[in-house]
Amino acid sequence: MPVMAYFPQAVASTRSPRVSLQRPIPIDFRHEAGMVRGDLHVVSATGGRARTPKPVVAGAVVELMMGTSEGPIRGIVEMLKARQMIHGWVQPFRFLALADEDFDRLKKVIQGAA
């Protein structure tokens, strides 16, 4: 994995704009116990929300990989508390580190969905 150059900083008084994706993006969360695949439905510059068949433990720091029309995006994320739904789980996460190229791709995905 390349050196992570972008470290998103959430400002408590300003919420990063979120966009709902018309077409979910396939996403993988890789961690010590294996991998959980899902579909990304909501994304922002500081994190996102995916639907997964099983949850990843809240607080876990994992590698994220998603294939977008702008190219692959890889980064390090912290998993937040998942909620069970009728068909799987809603799994939120926040970005901890992204390479500059990955952050540029992420911005393009957000702009294209807005």
Which tokens sit at 72? Answer: 């692959």
Going by their DSSP bridges, the two strands 83-85 and 71-79 should be labelled as unpaired
Q: 19 or 13, which is more confident?
A: 19
Residue 8 has pLDDT above 90, yes or no: no
Tens of pLDDT, residues 35-47: 999 999 999 989 9
Confidence of residue 2 (pLDDT cuts 50, 70, 90): low
Distance CA 55, CA 79 (A): 9
Q: What is the pLDDT of residue 7?
A: 58
Angle at 11 between CA 94 and CA 37, to 5 degrees: 10
Which tokens sit at 108? Answer: 């393009």
